[in-house]
Amino acid sequence: MSDANKHSSTGLLKRIARWFGKPASQSNSSAHIIARSRHNISRENISENALKVLYRLNKAGYQACLVGGGVRDLILGLEPKDFDVATNASPEEIKSLFRNCRLIGRRFRLAHVFFGREIIEVATFRGQGESGADGAKEQRAHTDEGRLLRDNVYGTIEEDARRRDFTVNALYYDIKDYSVLDYMRGMEDIEQGVLRIIGDPEQRYREDPVRMLRVARFAVKLGFKIHADTEKPLFELAPLLGDISPSRLFDESVKLFLSGQALQTFEMLRHYGLFAHLYPMTEIELAREEEGFPVMLVAQAMNNTDERLQQGKSVTPAFIYAALLWEPVRQMALDINTEEGLPAFPAMQKAIAQVLSRQSRHTAIPKRFSIFMREVWQLQGRFDFMSGMRPYKLLAHPRFRAAYDFLLLRVACGEVDAELGDWWTRFQRASSSEKKKMTRTRQSGKRRQRSRKQDAE
Ligand code: ATP
Ligand code: MG
């Protein structure tokens, strides 16, 4: 039999099995089935597009479930961030059902179904890939440390559940009868507010060290207690984060700090020693100045971001990044200034270039963010000049607002005089005649502003 025939006949067998349908009791062998009447998930709270995808898959004879954060958050009465679908249809089969569909991913092959701005992610049930099965070996690859490089073995829904990270993330809302399928006792953990990794914690962290960051993220987001077994390996395994690509760590760190609970998440990451592997330069400064302003500046920035999100205001990860790396930049600029004798501004430019390049070995920083950070940092020196035309020019700078917010952060932490912040607050609100007065009567603030930075110059 040719390969192509073999392929199509196994495909046909699978289809036939599906047409006749496995008895529910068999396919859901070890699931706790929570009937519609015994849970609070209502279709009203599910995105219409996710429902469309679920129904279409189901109509075509596939099993189709909502899974992951969507189900977890609906049960908890939270608004899900996005809706993920899991199915026994292969990526190609999914693609053939939806015109607006693209297959993505190498590590995990997924289908993205597009509805305007909304993307519904549809994943085929992932299997365990028992060693010994040649196909599985080919489809799954590990590093020597046990990290998964590829994971494209398809399997049953139960196997899929086992491969997920936490029990509370492994609940399936089956569109067929609106029941919730619970293979990992996730419902119990939700009820008790426990975050528990599925399987052997150490092995699961070695497979994918990012799961350690996810522990911190979900424990804080959900307000759950981390189960002791899930918690134990964190301290020791944190260095494994060094093996993760900077671009993935950037994506994760955005989720960590734009979640609305950045401050608590930051504290938890530090507690488990995870933070040091994301931002090693910042960690050195934090360790140096536990009592002083650097730790306050980062914490304050996190807090401001949380407040802004709560008020529905816009936030950018670049601002948090600017805060995280400010102290390393400032210290390095001072060192360059003393050691190489470069004046303050070029010393700052050189320090910025070095800090950005070192940090990007850990977490990538997209260009649009590094441009923002550089501008915000470089504008800080210009706040010292409060006479003549210079304040007007600074006020007109497109990045003034962010730079001013950043100045206030430095004021709040005692790094610069409150008076300087006040002057700029008043200057913005002043009428044009008041502005004239303020910039005329004022001497250059450079002399007055004896901040620590200036002291060291
Ligand atoms: P939220 O979207 O609210 O941040 P989520 O739980 O939906 O939370 P996603 O990153 O969207 O998180 O992932 C969707 C689901 O995929 C998770 O709930 C989990 O079941 C699974 N998952 C995601 N990342 C991993 C991982 N690193 N290891 C194992 N399973 C994972
Ligand atoms: Mg999600």
CATH number reported for the structural domain that contains residue 403 in this entry: 1.10.3090.10
In a domain, 408, yes or no: yes
Q: What is the pLDDT of residue 105?
A: 87
285 lies in the same domain as 177: no
The verdict on whether 82 is a catalytic residue reads yes
Residue 164: which CATH number? 3.30.460.10
286 lies in the same domain as 429: yes
In a domain, 249, yes or no: no
Q: What is the pLDDT of residue 148?
A: 56
Nearest ligand, measured from the Cα of 213: 1
Cα three-residue angle 59-61-62, rounded to 5 degrees: 105
Sheet holding 179-182, edge to edge: 32-34, 179-182, 171-174, 64-67, 84-87, 118-124, 110-115, 101-104
The verdict on whether 84 is a catalytic residue reads yes
251 lines ligand 1 (CB under 6 A): no
Domain that holds residue 304: 280-456
Q: Phi, psi (5° rounding) for residue 67?
A: -145, 165
43 lies in the same domain as 152: yes
198 lies in the same domain as 59: yes
Taking the CA of residue 170 as reference, the ligand 1 atom at the shortest distance is: 20
186 lies in the same domain as 63: yes
Q: What is the pLDDT of residue 292?
A: 60
Q: What is the pLDDT of residue 19?
A: 35
Distance between CA atoms of 397 and 403, rounded to whole angstroms?
10
Nearest CA to ligand 1 atom 9: 69
Mutate to test the pocket of ligand 1, among 87, 120, 122, 169 (most ligand atoms within 8 A of CB): 169
In a domain, 44, yes or no: yes
In a domain, 259, yes or no: no
Nearest residue to 402 (alpha-carbon basis) of 380, 429, 426, 430: 380
252 lines ligand 1 (CB under 6 A): no
Which of 175, 206, 237 delimits the end of a domain? 206
165 lines ligand 1 (CB under 6 A): yes
Catalytic annotation, pick one of 73, 84, 151, 189: 84
319 lies in the same domain as 447: yes
- Taking the alpha carbons at both ends of the chain, their separation in whole angstroms is 80
Enter the pTM of the model: 0.84
Q: What is the pLDDT of residue 440?
A: 86
Which of 172, 206, 240 delimits the end of a domain? 206
The verdict on whether 177 is a catalytic residue reads no
Mutate to test the pocket of ligand 1, among 149, 164, 265 (most ligand atoms within 8 A of CB): 164
Which of 206, 239, 259 delimits the end of a domain? 206
25 lies in the same domain as 144: yes
In a domain, 221, yes or no: no
112 lies in the same domain as 14: yes
313 lines ligand 1 (CB under 6 A): no
In a domain, 236, yes or no: no
In a domain, 264, yes or no: no
65 lines ligand 1 (CB under 6 A): no
Nearest CA to ligand 1 atom 17: 68
In a domain, 252, yes or no: no
pLDDT in tens, the chain (457 residues): 444 444 444 444 444 334 333 333 344 468 899 999 999 999 999 999 999 999 999 999 999 999 999 999 999 999 999 999 999 999 999 999 999 999 998 767 899 999 999 999 999 999 875 433 334 444 556 666 666 555 567 889 999 999 999 999 999 999 999 999 999 999 999 999 999 999 999 999 999 999 999 999 999 999 999 999 999 999 999 999 999 999 999 999 999 999 899 999 999 999 999 999 999 999 999 888 655 666 789 999 999 999 999 999 989 999 999 999 999 999 999 999 999 999 999 999 999 999 999 999 999 999 999 999 999 999 999 999 999 999 999 999 999 999 999 999 999 988 899 999 999 999 999 999 999 999 985 454 444 444 444 444 4
Q: What is the pLDDT of residue 29?
A: 61
Domain count across the chain: 2
